[in-house]
Chains A and B, each alone.
Chain A
């Protein structure tokens, strides 16, 4: 038996004094534990802020999050209408869902304890099942801690002072490195695809760019858009308006990424080599197309791929419609249009230029000689401004003005120009005038933030020294008594009045007449279609309401054989991507009609 150390035996007994100290433990229910401000407890989702992008569900490594539809939430553009439901039996509270939530709607709360006798209660629809948890938020995620990348890679542009000197392209495009970095930001939620009139495969081609597969990206793009170069430069990009990242930060530059993808194939041969279009054997059917705008070209391209014999009849000397004649060349250069048209022709699309239907060829002839007809005539005739002296020399519509300039002809706008309108056409007219050295002012009825023009266009105009006068209602054009030429425009200042909570409306302030002296007035308040070429008997059957041809979802008109698309039909917005969607859908309609 070894010696037993008495001190070593007795010393531990000193622990008895601990009895008189406050214990570690919490004396529940007299005391409760307070969760830290960072605690990862049950979820809470702000249902109004959430856009249903599903990023939380994608990142969840336990498949604990399902996206479900709720009774009181409907999907709309930029909101899938779905909301996350958490299976708390699977959740491990890693909170990655919170860190990747682009809107910041999903958070964790301080809820320590959850007791239930119903196993179904483990399925929690945060926000719906626990609305009161909003007051107990703990683990949240702001833009600094978020894993989302909110800042867009800036696009390089010509300097404002430099670019008004010529029609050189303003936007310089992304470098490969910039494109990869920008593509990397996309979270692939697909809200953009839903919003795009043409439902382009946006997350897919952005993914391809992010991975460095530019060829794949181009192939994916050409799958349902034969004019990507045009879309990559001038698309109205509703996709970016609904991007999940724009809720808190800047949308992914979807348009510029598409532009980047098309720039990787600078020649027609390269496009053909990469896209490698599969042209089916001729199927014996022929289709006649009126108008070589985006709608007609799209229909022609996909019809040609499917083996149809396609001929486009175009009144002008160049194909492209409004993208050729309506869009200034600093936004969309001639070479780009030519490249796209040449590619179309190389796969078998026939275009008859300078052939105006109703003059050089009758519509009856096209109708009889083809198995189907597609009408994509666009909106050619400008609306009148509707004020006094509008017919004076020096007053021109933006559409006519742009057409003259884009046809390489000249029009002298003088030293000072007033542009009326707030859409993209108005901005185009203003920026083109600035390139001829004019001092340009835009008069718009509403506020700058109400302008329908693309924000980048507005910004571009401002950088080029164009003055925008908002809340200005033109009342009359002032002409020189002797020469009859325009010398100014009078307008009333307006205040914005919201009636019944509706969109604020400009109301003229009496006595606020202001005169702006100018040499030219450019009107850009909208266009309408010209149906004069169409024989009367067709007009009735086509059903034209409010200047637009009525069509079904396959873009079929009241006449079985006639399909229509583009700005002159009722579908979608008046923009190129909607026209492309019309053309694409009409191909399905024609297929259904002829191939059954």
Chain B
């Protein structure tokens, strides 16, 4: 066999099959990746630094920008960390609303993942469907929060507005619709031989390395390890809600896709329960003037399960009216840098974007 010449290729930085700018520098021989290196720095906006210059409420409007496809977990995680520092009680109703918002966020993010995953496999019908259906969820967000993508809805102390009239009914109707559509998605994607052939055995994250590499979320569950913050360390009212955490063996793209596919059904289950069980009462614990609000000095670490896995906020307060430091740890950092560089060698060039998509990488989260 003739040894082919090694060539350097650049995937990105313009949206390399994912949301946000990032570049993967590949060394290839023929069609095969020899080594990969992730390069970031194309959309660094110094979010963490900017937060230090804003007061506790102002800061919350920046958080959604950490990850466009799923801004809500950022808001929730920050809110929970600040609530812990400030000893703020959150009304029970707000906790239920937060759970619904989190699951809707998971669903709309799934729709976007679905579009990207199938699109990067060359299947272009599914993106048309899923992005269209995602808009029905965005409609719900618009009714609830006033914004479609950036909601700026969950803030320390509760949520910003109560549920509008008729919103729960509309949500339940949308859930019924999406549930039906999921069967149709199965037909065009999961039962599709092309997709199966592309996904099976590709981009394997080995089970024995997953924990060591810091893999989280659906990628970790795709290796057969059952790990979910909602179950392991329940927050808000997840401990009162009955749902399953799906796992798959194999650690390849196919396993991750099956995990995600099942997760959306669980989200629908959670939303239905939360709507049924939701109590009345206050939705926001208003105790302080946002202009003067100071948070007692200390440090807090809060984590939640986003659609890409565990994200955590380390918030430090010096007792002032602004955060002293906010450090964000999302799934993208490990998945987009460590894991990607380790699993790409030996793969086909055509699979690079495909693998990137399955890992759930969100570049703004790497460059906070």
The chain A residues found within 8 Å of chain B, CB to CB, are 2, 4-5, 7-9, 11-12, 14-15, 18, 23-25, 35-40, 55, 58-59, 61, 92-96, 99-100, 108, 138-139, 145, 147-149, 183-188, 207, 210-211
CB-CB under 8 A for A149 and B144, given A12-B125, A15-B187, A96-B58: no
A24 x B135 contact (CB < 8 A): yes
Q: How far is the CA of A35 from the CA of B193 in the complex (A)?
A: 41
> A147 is contacted by which of B142, B152, B191, B289 (Cβ under 8 Å)?
B289
Partner of B188 from A15, A25, A39 at Cβ < 8 Å: A15
Q: How far is the CA of A570 from the CA of B252 in the complex (A)?
A: 88
Bound complex: CA A38 to CA B194 (Å):
43
**B139 at interface (Cβ–Cβ under 8 A)?**
yes
Pull 8 A–B residue pairs with CB atoms less than 8 Å apart, ordered by A.
Answer: A5-B193, A14-B188, A38-B145, A38-B161, A40-B146, A93-B147, A94-B150, A188-B292
Asked if B143 is an interface residue, CB under 8 A from chain A, the answer is: yes
Asked if A94 and B292 make an inter-chain contact with CB atoms under 8 angstroms apart, the answer reads: no
Contacts of A12 in B (CB 8 A): 125, 187-189, 191-192
* Cβ-neighbour of B142 out of A2, A25, A36, A207 (below 8 A): A36
With a cutoff of 8 Å between Cβ atoms, the chain A residues found around residue B147 in the complex are 40, 93
Taking CB atoms and an 8 Å cut-off, the chain B residues in 180-194 that contact chain A are: 184, 187-189, 191-194
Closest to A60 in B: B58
CA distance A207 to B192 in the complex (A): 65
Cβ-defined contact, A186 with B289, below 8 A: yes
Known pairs A25-B132, A147-B290. 6 more at Cβ < 8 A? A9-B192, A38-B146, A93-B150, A96-B57, A108-B146, A149-B286
| A11 → chain B closest CB, angstroms | 5
Pairwise interchain contact B143-A36, C-beta atoms closer than 8 A: yes
Q: Which residues of B contact A108 (CB under 8 A)?
A: 146
- Residues in chain B near residue A183, CB distance under 8 A: 292
CB-CB under 8 A for A59 and B291, given A38-B142, A99-B160: yes
User: A39 — nearest CB in chain B belongs to which residue?
Assistant: B146
Residue B62 lies at the interface, judged by CB distance under 8 Å to chain A = yes
- Chain B residues, Cβ within 8 Å of A188: 291-292
Q: Which residues on the A side are within 8 Å of B191 (C-beta)?
A: 7-8, 11-12
Instruction: Kindly report which residue of chain B lies nearest to residue A141, judged by CB atoms.
Output: B161
Say how far A456's CB is from chain B's closest CB, in angstroms: 23
Which residues of A are found within 8 Å of B290, using beta-carbon distances? 59, 96, 100, 147
Please name the 7 residue pairs, one residue from A and one from B, whose CB atoms are nearest each other, closest first.
Answer: A8-B193, A24-B132, A94-B61, A40-B146, A61-B58, A38-B146, A12-B188
- Complex CA gap A244/B61 in Å reads 25
A42 to B287, CA, bound (A): 29
Alpha-carbon separation in the docked complex, A5 to B57 (Å)? 56
Interface assignment of B133: CB less than 8 Å from any CB of chain A: yes
Contact indicator B142/A39 (Cβ below 8 Å): yes
Q: Are B291 and A94 in contact (CB under 8 A)?
A: no
Contacts of B329 in A (CB 8 A): none
Q: Provided the pairs A36-B139, A38-B144, A187-B289 are in contact, do residues A92 and B187 lie with their beta carbons within 8 angstroms?
A: no
**A37 and B143 contact, CB distance less than 8 A:** yes
Q: How far is the CA of A524 from the CA of B205 in the complex (A)?
A: 91
Complex: chain A residue closest to B282, CB-CB = A144
CA distance A473 to B132 in the complex (A): 76
> B133: which of A7, A9, A24 is its contact (CB, 8 Å)?
A24
With a CB–CB cut-off of 8 A, which chain B residues contact A37? 143, 164
B49–chain A nearest beta-carbon distance, Å: 13
Distance in angstroms between the alpha carbons of A58 and B290 in the assembled complex:
11
- Most A Cβ at <10 Å: residue of B147, B194, B289: B289
Flag if A186 contacts B292 (CB, 8 Å). Answer: yes
- Please name all residues of chain A whose beta carbon is closer than 8 Å to the beta carbon of B189 when the two chains form the complex: 12
Chain A residues positioned under 8 Å from B192 (CB to CB): 8-9, 11-12
- B54 contacts the other chain (CB 8 A): yes
Contact for B161 among A8, A18, A59, A145, CB less than 8 A: A145
In the complex the two chains form, what is the Cα distance from A8 to B288 in whole Å? 59
B196 part of interface (Cβ distance < 8 Å): yes
**Chain B residues near A100 (CB-CB < 8 A):** 290-291
Residues of B within 8 A of A96 (CB): 57-58, 61, 290
Instruction: Mark interface residues in B258-293 (1 if CB within 8 Å of A CB, else 0).
Output: 000000000000000000000000000010111110
Report whether A149 and B289 are in contact in the complex, using a CB–CB cutoff of 8 Å: yes
B168 contacts chain A at the CB level, 8 A cutoff? no
Residue of B nearest to A15 (CB): B188
B294 within 8 Å of A (CB atoms): yes
The residue that A184 contacts in the complex, of B59, B132, B288, with Cβ under 8 A, is: B288
Which A residues touch B58, using CB under 8 A?
Answer: 59, 61, 96
In chain B, what residue has the closest Cβ to A13?
B188
Q: How many whole Å from A556's CB to the nearest CB in chain B? A: 41
Return chain A residues, CB-CB under 8 Å to B146.
Answer: 36, 38-40, 95, 108, 138-139
Residue ID in chain A nearest B165 by CB atoms: A37
A61 touches B142 (CB 8 A): no
- Bound-state Cα–Cα, A36 to B164, Å: 10
Q: Which residues of B contact A18 (CB under 8 A)?
A: 129
Q: Which of B135, B143, B288 contacts A38 (CB 8 A)?
A: B143
Q: Give B298 Cβ to nearest chain A Cβ, in Å.
A: 17
How close is B134's CB to chain A, nearest CB, in angstroms? 10
Shortest Cβ gap from B53 to chain A (Å): 9
The verdict on A61 contacting B61 (CB below 8 Å), with A5-B193, A8-B191, A15-B125 known, is: yes
B164 touching A184, Cβ below 8 Å: no
Contacts of A5 in B (CB 8 A): 193, 196
User: Which residues of chain B (277-315) have a CB below 8 Å from chain A?
Assistant: 286, 288-292, 294
In the complex, what distance in Å separates the CA atom of A25 from the CA atom of B133? 10
Chain A residues in 8 Å Cβ range of B291: 55, 58-59, 100, 187-188
Q: How far is the CA of A92 from the CA of B187 in the complex (A)?
A: 40
**B43 nearest CB across to chain A (Å):** 16
Nearest CB of chain A from residue B198's CB, rounded to whole Å: 12
Complex Cα distance A15/B139, Å? 25
Looking at the assembled complex, report how far the CB atom of A577 sits from the nearest CB atom of chain B, in whole angstroms. 25
- In contact, B142 and A92 (Cβ under 8 angstroms): no
Q: Which residue among A55, A61, A99, A183 has the maximum number of chain B CB atoms within 10 Å of its CB?
A: A61
Bound-state CA distance A11–B192 (Å) is 7
A108 to B146, CA, bound (A): 10
Closest to B294 in A: A211
Beyond A61-B61, A139-B146, whether A4 also contacts B288 by CB under 8 A is no
- Taking each of A7, A37, A38, which has the highest tally of chain B beta carbons within 10 Å of its own beta carbon? A38
Would B289 and A148 count as touching, CB distance under 8 A? yes
Contact bitstring B23-57, A, C-beta under 8 A = 1, else 0: 00000000000000000000000000000001001
Chain B residues, Cβ within 8 Å of A55: 291
**Smallest CB–CB gap between B123 and chain A, Å?**
8
Task: Choose from B144, B152, B187 the contact partner of A95 (Cβ within 8 Å).
Answer: B152
Q: With the chains together, A92 CA to B193 CA distance in Å?
A: 44
Write the nearest CB–CB distance from A109 to chain B, whole angstroms. 11
Measured between beta carbons, the chain A residues less than 8 angstroms from B164 are 36-38
Instruction: Kindly provide the distance from the CB of B190 to the nearest chain A CB, expressed in whole angstroms.
Output: 10
Interface-central residue, B62, B145, B193, B196, by most chain A CB under 10 Å: B193
| Centre residue among A12, A24, A211 by max chain B CB count within 10 A | A12
